[in-house]
Amino acid sequence: QVQLVESGGGLVQAGDSLRLSCAASGRTFSVIVMGWFRQAPGKEREFVAAITKSGGGRIYGDSAKGRFTISGDNALNTVYLQMNSLKPEDTAVYYCAAGRVWSRWPGSYDYWGQGTRVTVSS
């Protein structure tokens, strides 16, 4: 079992920055990839970014390219999402996920955090 806890969300204005954190614990040796997803009311869960535990590979969703950066410390036991130039359409609950498959699809991930809420005002 892997436990994931997100933090760092809040209320900001358009153009501001936030850094989200995800702390992983438990049987983390089984984790190959860590990802960030987001979900707004009435919408499907959307891929934001992912990073591989050992190889250092990174991928981003279209909405994140050029504005967001995913990184990790301590062998990815802590993963970050740096979000710059935030827009109102970035408003959502952001979830950290851990899995064994490199993927943009939520169903490929095995473990999920409870989410942290990000609200961007205009």
Q: Are 10 and 19 in contact (CB under 8 A)?
A: no
Model pLDDT, residue 29: 86
**pLDDT at position 55:** 66
> Pick from 116, 92, 90, 98: which is nearest to 21 by CA?
116
pLDDT of residue 76: 82
Residues in the chain: 122
Q: Encoding tokens for residue 79?
A: 């993963």
Query: What is the mean predicted confidence (pLDDT) over 80-96?
Result: 97
d(CA 51, CA 93): 19
Query: Which pLDDT value is given to residue 50?
Result: 96
> How many secondary structure helices (H) and strands (E) does the chain include?
0, 11
Which residue bears the tokens 């009311």?
Answer: 41
pLDDT, one tens digit per residue, over 93-112 is: 999 999 999 899 999 999 99
Q: What percent of the chain has pLDDT over 90?
A: 82
pLDDT of residue 53: 80
Q: What is the pLDDT of residues 8-17, one digit of tens each?
A: 999 999 999 9
